[in-house]
A and B are shown apart, each in its own frame.
Chain A
């Protein structure tokens, strides 16, 4: 087969399989991310079939997938929401960071992966999956719950933290020294501040610049601008993903809604390819040796997220069951942990075991998170129903 035909057949087969996996995930009500990862593991390096024809395409598509993931994340929030979220929840956000960064970073140091490995693994265990959390909240009918704003504020804080963390990570992975690192952090902080100010004051102008009634023009405008900004950000060593995220924040109002609607199918496609590409580059035989550590990390960081949510909800005056619900909603890790691990693996600055550990960890957490969110309530209720508790009277007896 000539290279083009081979690439097309491979890509077609992979995308078709992703469709089947997404359908399966929808049927059993879970996030498709772990299935995509497993799909990627099954093929590629060390898997059943080696897919060489589509390698180049998968690589670039994966990069675009990351850019779109972050762009859409930025579109979801308005600048004012970010600022109020930051003001309302920074204590919980800091606590979240400390409690959940340390387990990953500590394990990396323990396994001898050095400072770079520690910063990568800390990021992997720190960031919750806002995609999975939002879906869990909607699916379980908890939109109106009192603890929901607490959970969402923590997610907002995490996403803003990513805007600082990713440039630092990019700089460290590129091997710049302490001074270079400081410089990048300075640039990142300045860019984030400038974009927030622009978005707060002149967000409508940025929106106007990309807006068009014609959906084709609009799509090309937004996508082109996103890739352009991401490319420039990447050239400035600020990380392509952060550039896209900040663009998403700057676009607001009706334009942001339309952009979300129009970009969603593209994001789904490219992000799926990104997860598969990550799995493709991970040798499945490297997973069993790290599985034990992944489980330890899973239990530990499920507990630390639970503590974070519990503490934040308690501060917001939520009763005990709601505190547990808030904690459980934060447990899921997903797309952004893989984005971080993917950046690290692509740079070659971390050992291969890190990719395996991150994959196994996200596989566990993406499945465990929604389950924990669903079952925490009945479990807490059963535990609290001690025999000595007085019977509760309903507000009205049915006639």
Chain B
């Protein structure tokens, strides 16, 4: 996607792009650290229909809502009500025995009863990864299972 960056002297930097529906959407990063979210009107792409000031917290919250982090939060929220079921995230360290191996080789489901429901990689989400997905260092595995199952899954991923 082509994001235009325009300097606004004295105010900050504007970053925006045009959506498939023809609207210009973007943010202005203000000097004071605030963010202004804006959407252009449909009849005049030069002007804004809405221009909403966001604090740093609000901006990052919105970013997470739009981005991959959204899924993990929702999962944790969904399983909180079920007794015994926990969501946990495992990161693949460079020294893990399964680095650059297909995930199925670890046989996590068979050995611990834990399901890997998503992999987050460089800000993108791989939902319900198949056993042949190759694990990279830095990958974040979102796992759902019992407390004991998750402990043993962590042990498997670390020590093989």
Contacts and interface: CB of A to CB of B under 8 A. Distances in A.
Q: Do A and B come from one complex?
A: yes
Contact of B36 (A143, A318, A322): A143
Interface residues of B, number: 29
B70 interface: no
Contact of A144 (B9, B32, B38, B42): B38
Interface stretch (A74-82, A116-124, A206-214, A292-300): A74-82
Interface string B21-46: 11110101011100010101011111
Interface stretch (A97-105, A146-154, A215-223, A349-357): A146-154
A377 B28 CA distance: 22
Given A82-B9, A85-B9, A143-B8, A392 B36 contact: no
A77 B36 contact: no
A322 to B, nearest CB: 4
Contact of B10 (A156, A321, A392): A156
B42 A76 contact: no
B10 A141 contact: no
B9 A81 contact: yes
Contacts of B23: 395
A205 interface: no
Nearest to A82: B9
Nearest to A322: B46
B64 interface: no
Interface string A61-84: 000000000000000110001101
B10 A145 contact: no
Nearest to A148: B8
B65 interface: no
A194 to B, nearest CB: 21
A177 interface: no
A325 interface: yes
A317 to B, nearest CB: 9
Nearest to B52: A141
B44 A149 contact: no
B7 interface: yes
B55 interface: no
Nearest to A133: B10
B11 A142 contact: no
Given A143-B36, A257-B32, A395-B22, A152 B47 contact: no
Given A149-B7, A152-B10, A153-B9, A144 B16 contact: yes
A20 interface: no
Contacts of A81: 7, 9-10
Chain A CB count within 10 A is highest, among B23, B40, B47, for B47
A90 B30 CA distance: 25
A134 B7 contact: no
A144 B52 CA distance: 10
A265 interface: no
Given A142-B51, A144-B51, A321 B6 contact: no
Contacts of A142: 47-48, 51
A319 interface: yes
Nearest to A76: B10
A130 interface: yes
Contacts of B40: 144
Interface in A247-262: 257
A143 B6 CA distance: 11
Contacts of B16: 144
B7 A321 contact: no
A144 B36 contact: yes
B50 interface: yes
Contacts of A390: none
12 contacts: A76-B9, A82-B9, A134-B11, A137-B11, A143-B48, A143-B51, A145-B46, A149-B6, A152-B11, A153-B9, A319-B45, A322-B44
Interface of B: 6-11, 14, 16, 21-24, 26, 28, 30-32, 36, 38, 40, 42-48, 50-51
Interface of A: 76-77, 81-82, 84-85, 130, 134, 137, 141-149, 152-153, 155-156, 257, 318-319, 321-322, 325, 377, 392, 394-396
Smallest CB-CB A-B distances: 4 pairs: A144-B38, A141-B51, A322-B46, A146-B46
